[in-house]
Chains A and B, each alone.
Chain A
Amino acid sequence: MALHSEILSKEGRASALRSRGTFRRILERNAAGYIFLLPWLLGFFGLTLGPALASLYLSFTNYDLLQSPDWVGAANYVRILSDDPKFGAAMRVTFTYVVLSVPLKLAFALAVAMAFNRGIKGLTLYRAIFYLPSLLGSSVAIAVLWRQLFASDGLVNMALWQIFGFEGPSWISNPDYALYTLVLLSVWQFGSPMIIFLAGLRQIPTDMYEAAEMDGAGKARQFFKITLPLLTPVIFFNAVIQTIEAFKAFTPAFIISEGTGGPINSTLFYTLYLYQEAFGFFRMGYASALAWILVIIISLFTAFSFLGARYWVHYDE
């Protein structure tokens, strides 16, 4: 095969130009690239762009998989935004979860990374141990474990009883507490932002601290004047990634509430509600509208974070 000319090489292209007719040249110049790109192109049109447009269309219809989609205009969106208590509940739950779990998780991640940044023997082992929950945490097994930890006769209540003689409630079946057990599960998995923070802290030149020390700046001052400002790009990155992930949380809430989002919708995460509408009630049109609202929320959030970032994120060098 004479496809050499497609490699980014001046010699190759020059020889192709000399030896071939225009049409064949254009064909051959592009052929290899598109052959390699073919699987991705199929996936992009067939599994991403096509479905995204289809779900946009479906969001304006009622569709139950059996009869063909029935155009209803913006009715799904109007109902979601004005007359759907479960949507309100899902928004409350999801926002509470995001607002609590992300800052707490990042605070832990940063604190531990700072401790690890001080040159400790056995760091590799400690780091691995602190990272492990983050790797295992999204599995069903850990959700099962959590369900047991916070059950009325679970480990947490056992410990409370043994230590304080205090009889704890059933955390997961109490609407006041169920969501907080899930927040705790998320915070426990601070391992990967911790590693990213650690990599960020290593980038800060040590002579800055030495200079600050010479000028008599204490540890706290060094933290607020050097570490924190220079780390803002990493904090920003972690915050955006973790927030998007938190919006998409599904498995723990599903396992802990047995798919109901209960008790009393207190763990009805947005994605869980979407799942129920689509695959529990087969309201595909309504669920598509829910999906697009989620996309809009995530996009708005991302856009605002990037706009806001210019006021607090330092990109010096």
Chain B
Amino acid sequence: MSDATRDILTPPKVQRSPLVSVLLHTALIICSFGMLYPILWMISGSFRPQEELFGTSSLIPSALDLGGYFRGWTGLQVTFGRFFWNSLVISVLATIGNVVGCSLAAFAFSRLRFGGRKFWFALMLGTLMLPYHVVLIPQYILFLHLGWVNTPLPLIVPKYLATDAFFIFLMVQFFRGIPKELDEAAVMDGCSPFRIYWKIMLPLSLPVLATAAIFSFIWTWDDFFGPLIYLSDIDTYTVQLGLRSFVDSTGSSDWTALFAMSNLSLIPVFLFFLFFQRLLIEGIATTGMKR
């Protein structure tokens, strides 16, 4: 854990009597367990024999049965492998787009001088407040005319055009903290702005770029609305859409398989949580992200 987080989020430890300590930790463990119970129950549910799921709230299955995973994986006319591949392609490309597009704009706003800079910056901040619903329908019509509906392009290309103003704002804040002397020295040495962006700003901004990348990946992976609108052919479905079709087709008949696929869909996000927990929590604490 970095010193920064320790300062922002971690109060100094307090000496307590052993009794108070034990009570406090017992309470916290019970609450943690309560918070996680539904998720744990879903995980254990996916390993149960199909008929056992109902009638028990216990977390331990009577027998370990992987049938749900097999039935779920091939439960629709296209396997979940296809959906995972689609989701992965869209999330990776969208994440790269977000980082590239937003960092270019953020570099211009924070480091370059040009006419109208303040004006464009104010407009960019204005788009932060604009709910996407007002651009939704014309964007759909635009992509329909471009022949992009039923392809992943509407979910990827806009990211390269830095449409996610929140990340621009995040990066501008960070870039401003990098000492100007660095790029002034580079200018004296005959560095072009592009080299300064590439060789100085990006390497020095890895924490904010990583935060932006992780959140873009998770949000794109979890996105349901975008794929729902743009992808109607089952071959193009993302995991989230695949899950939704699976709900519709199995209804409440095969919960084991449904839970199995739900669990798989959470794995990428969970891995990010496991390995980048500090960056995620720091990101929220310092920028006030919504989730």
Given A9-B184, A202-B9: A135 and B131 within 8 A (CB)?
A: no
Pairs across A and B, CB under 8 Å, 22 listed: A8-B184, A30-B115, A36-B108, A36-B193, A40-B108, A51-B138, A122-B25, A126-B28, A129-B35, A131-B280, A133-B35, A133-B36, A135-B218, A140-B240, A140-B262, A144-B262, A145-B38, A145-B39, A158-B56, A202-B7, A291-B131, A291-B134
Main secondary structure of the interface of A (DSSP, over half): helix
B161 with A47: CB separation less than 8 A: yes
Residue of A33, A47, A237, A298 near B114 (CB, 8 A) is A33
A120–B28 CB distance below 8 A: yes
Flag if A135 contacts B291 (CB, 8 Å): yes
- Report if B19 contacts A (CB, 8 A): no
A248–B134 CA distance with the chains assembled, in angstroms: 12
B247 touches A138 (CB 8 A): no
State the Cβ distance, B218 to closest chain A Cβ, in Å: 7
A115 to B261, CA, bound (A): 36
User: Given A148-B255, A158-B56, A199-B286, is A250 in contact with B108 using a C-beta cutoff of 8 Å?
Assistant: no
* Beta-carbon contact of B130 and A52 below 8 Å: yes
Are A295 and B131 interface neighbours, CB within 8 A? yes
A11 interface neighbour in B10, B135, B188, Cβ under 8 Å: B188
Residue picked from A7, A29, A131, A188, most chain B C-beta under 10 Å: A7
B101 at the A interface (CB under 8 A): yes
Contact B284 A195 (CB under 8 A): yes
B129 CB–A CB distance under 8 Å: yes
A-side interface residues, number (CB < 8 Å):
111
Find the A residue at minimum CB distance from B272: A135
Task: Indicate the member of B21, B127, B160 with the most A CB atoms within 10 Å.
Answer: B127
Q: In the bound complex, what is the Cα–Cα distance between A44 and B261 (angstroms)?
A: 38
* Distance between B280 CB and nearest chain A CB, rounded to angstroms: 7
**Interface: A168 (CB within 8 A):** no
Question: B114 and A202: CB pair below 8 A?
Answer: no
Bitwise, B250-291 to A at CB < 8 A (1) or not (0) is 001001001101110110011001000100110011101111
Chain A residues near B163 (CB-CB < 8 A)? 43, 47-48
**Distance to closest chain A CB from B201 (angstroms):** 11
- In the complex, the answer to whether B291 meets A137 with C-beta atoms within 8 Å is yes
Assembled-state Cα–Cα distance A149/B54 (Å):
11
Please determine whether B284 and A196 come into contact, CB atoms closer than 8 angstroms: yes
* Apart from A47-B142, A284-B137, 17 more pairs, CB < 8 Å: A1-B192, A7-B183, A9-B184, A37-B109, A44-B123, A119-B12, A120-B14, A123-B10, A126-B28, A133-B35, A136-B39, A141-B261, A144-B258, A145-B38, A188-B35, A258-B248, A291-B136
Which residues of A sit under 8 angstroms from B188, Cβ to Cβ? 9, 11-12
A198 within 8 A of B: yes
Are A44 and B127 in contact, with the CB atoms below 8 A?
A: yes
B162 at the interface (CB under 8 A from A): yes
**Closest residue of A by beta carbon distance from B121:** A37
Is the CB–CB distance between A7 and B133 below 8 Å?
A: no
B contact patch SS: helix
Are A37 and B187 in contact, with the CB atoms below 8 A?
A: no
Sorted from nearest, which 6 A-B pairs have the closest CB atoms? A33-B114, A43-B161, A141-B262, A51-B138, A36-B108, A54-B138
Cα of A237 to Cα of B288 in the assembled complex, Å: 8
Is B38 a contact of A8 with CB atoms below 8 Å?
Answer: no
Q: Are A127 and B281 in contact (CB-based, < 8 A)?
A: yes
Inter-chain contact A55/B135, CB cutoff 8 Å: yes
In the complex, A220 has a CB within 8 A of chain B:
no
B-chain residues with CB within 8 Å of residue A299 when the two chains form the complex: 129
Looking at the assembled complex, report how far the CB atom of B291 sits from the nearest CB atom of chain A, in whole angstroms.
5
The reply to whether B252 and A151 contact each other, CB–CB distance below 8 Å, is: yes
A32 within 8 A of B: yes
B74 within 8 A of A: no
Stretch from A83-91, A221-229, A271-279 at the B interface: A271-279
A166 part of interface (Cβ distance < 8 Å): no
**Do A255 and B187 touch (CB < 8 A)?**
no
By a CB distance below 8 angstroms, the chain A residues around B120 are 37, 40-41
> Is A251 within 8 A of B224, CB to CB?
yes
